[in-house]
Amino acid sequence: MTAQSIFAGFSEWFFLIYFIGLNGGYLVLNLLSLLTISRYLQGSELEKLPQAQSGLEPPVSLLVPAYNESAGISQSIHSLLQLDYPEFEIIAINDGSKDETLQTLIRDFGLVPFPEAYRERLKTKRVQTIYHSREYPNLRVIDKENGGKADALNVGINAARYPIFCSVDADSILQRDSLRRVVRPFSDNVDTVACGGTVRIANGCEVRDGFLSRIALPNHPLALIQIVEYLRAFLFGRMGWSPLNALLIISGAFGLFRKEAVIEAGGYRTDTVGEDMELVVRLHRTRRAAGKPCIISFVPDPICWTEAPQDLRTLKNQRVRWQRGLCESLSLNMDLLFARNSGAAGWLAFPFMLVFEWIGPAVEAIGYGLILVAYLFDFISGSAMLAFLLLAISLGLLLSVSALLLEELSFHMYSRPSDLLRLVAALIVENLGYRQLNTAWRLMGLWRWILRSKGHWGEMKRKGLSGKQA
């Protein structure tokens, strides 16, 4: 037996096992999501009754970090002020913006300096001035030296008055009842330390006064494809891990955390680009190691809408940053892997992420490359190459269609018959080129993580949503 044939045999088996593991894992997550969503929807029947809201829900501090957001910050804060929730405060943190973000806020909300007895429980860059609004008693704005999103959030945590805080991106569009829905796991179980919800793509939707007034699909193909991608990521990527209490990601766009648990864990790390995921993984690691309860929940309701990039360059930057963030989050919390008491988070989700999400792009790229090389050197026939590609694509299609099925069984937000056709078309295109392109970007992210290049605020070129002001 030659070294060449041993290598060929090994790589054949390696890729086969990898392929089965990856897709089998996703199919199991899919089934788990199906069960969980159906149970969730049945149990939420009571929520529709008028008496279901007691007014005794825990008060929440909304933290809105902002860097060069002068164009949209006022509208965001105005819509947050209209959230349907008994008690909440908004803390906007201006992270040393170079534009007029602070001046806009001062002008639009009647801000005046406030002599706050600020506690620095988490070490941060210097806080310059704290303002409060004369018009809205539950609004404060903190002006601080530039230190990045994580540092801004840490300042917000230091200033937060309530036991639960919610990190919200300044450009997120929320539902009026978003907080009510996502706070439920905290009311239901005192051991809940964090909770996230489904983020949807707002491109194509109509926004009125900062809230979504009409849900529709975008015309831009790149945004349409990302809708299918988000459905897959949230409806079974996250929903599947949630019943196992093994959720490792809560989107930075909208996530609720128990303040004391986060302070105990050391707050957001300022030296990573994926501070949202890193915090969740660290909460699992530190609390489980200390034998403390750690329930991290997920509600499938679409509670936060965000604008997806519509040009390849911005999308590439976003995906490269996400992959880097994932690599950092996992590598910084390696102790969670197979740790005693780490539960499904350490024994299932972490290894799954490690093998299929962290090094996944490299394995996928090598796999595609090897098939191509094997074909070029006549190790495999053209029909064999097509057969394997067909198999990979058909599995991808199956996963995307099952995400669409979950959406249809649960929230069916896109109600027009033509929407269904467009989504099916989008999921075909997604599997014929887009996913491969995404793999290449994720590979770049992996490479940048290896090089440890410096991260920064994720700036995004936005087209803007069709909006109406009252």
Binding site for another protein (CB under 8 A): 39, 41-43, 45-46, 48-52, 54-57, 114-117, 119, 132, 134, 137, 184, 187-190, 380-381, 383-384, 387-388, 390-391, 393-395, 397-398, 401-402, 404-405, 408-409, 412, 417, 420, 424
Element (H, E) at 388: helix 382-409
Provide the CA 11 distance to its chain's centre, in angstroms: 34
- At closest approach, how far in Å is the CB of 246 from another protein? 20
- At closest approach, how far in Å is the CB of 379 from another protein? 9
- At closest approach, how far in Å is the CB of 325 from another protein? 32
- At closest approach, how far in Å is the CB of 237 from another protein? 18
Rounded to 5 degrees, φ, ψ at 193 are -110, -20
Task: Please say which residue, 50 or 291, places its beta carbon nearer to another protein.
Answer: 50
**For residue 468, what are the β-bridge partners?**
208
CB burial string 41-70: b at 16+ within 10 A, e below: eeeeeeeeeeeeeeeebbebbbbbbbbbbb
- Find all residues with CB under 8 Å of 133, minimum gap 6, and list them: 109, 110, 111, 139, 140, 141
Task: Please say which residue, 55 or 291, places its beta carbon nearer to another protein.
Answer: 55
Task: Please say which residue, 250 or 404, places its beta carbon nearer to another protein.
Answer: 404
- Find all residues with CB under 8 Å of 72, minimum gap 6, and list them: 170, 171
Task: Please say which residue, 91 or 349, places its beta carbon nearer to another protein.
Answer: 91
Task: Please say which residue, 58 or 467, places its beta carbon nearer to another protein.
Answer: 58
Closest CA to 264 of 287, 243, 284, 246: 287
- At closest approach, how far in Å is the CB of 83 from another protein? 18
- At closest approach, how far in Å is the CB of 35 from another protein? 12
Give the length of the chain: 470
Residue with tokens 């929230």: 411
Task: Please say which residue, 114 or 347, places its beta carbon nearer to another protein.
Answer: 114
3: exposed, middle or buried (C-beta count within 10 Å: 0-12, 13-18, 19+)?
exposed
Task: Please say which residue, 124 or 402, places its beta carbon nearer to another protein.
Answer: 402
Question: Rounded to whole angstroms, how far apart are CA atoms 19 and 396?
Answer: 11
Output the CA–CA distances (angstroms, integers) from residue 292 to 15, 284, 286, in the order listed.
39, 10, 9
Residue with tokens 């929440």: 60
Q: Are 230 and 112 in contact (CB under 8 A)?
A: no
Task: Please say which residue, 115 or 291, places its beta carbon nearer to another protein.
Answer: 115
- At closest approach, how far in Å is the CB of 3 from another protein? 19
For the record, the structure tokens of 117 come out as 């007895």
Task: Please say which residue, 3 or 46, places its beta carbon nearer to another protein.
Answer: 46
Q: Are 258 and 193 in contact (CB under 8 A)?
A: yes
The strand pair at 206-208 and 211-214 is best described as antiparallel
Task: Please say which residue, 187 or 219, places its beta carbon nearer to another protein.
Answer: 187
Question: Rounded to whole angstroms, how far apart are CA atoms 318 and 364?
Answer: 20
- At closest approach, how far in Å is the CB of 440 from another protein? 23
Q: Are 213 and 206 in contact (CB under 8 A)?
A: yes
- At closest approach, how far in Å is the CB of 201 from another protein? 19
For the record, the structure tokens of 47 come out as 């929520």
- At closest approach, how far in Å is the CB of 435 from another protein? 15
Question: Rounded to whole angstroms, how far apart are CA atoms 455 and 199?
Answer: 24
Task: Please say which residue, 154 or 310, places its beta carbon nearer to another protein.
Answer: 154
Question: Residue 109 has what DSSP assignment?
Answer: H
- At closest approach, how far in Å is the CB of 149 from another protein? 25
- Strands annotated E in 97-152: 111-113, 127-133, 139-144
Element (H, E) at 142: strand 139-144
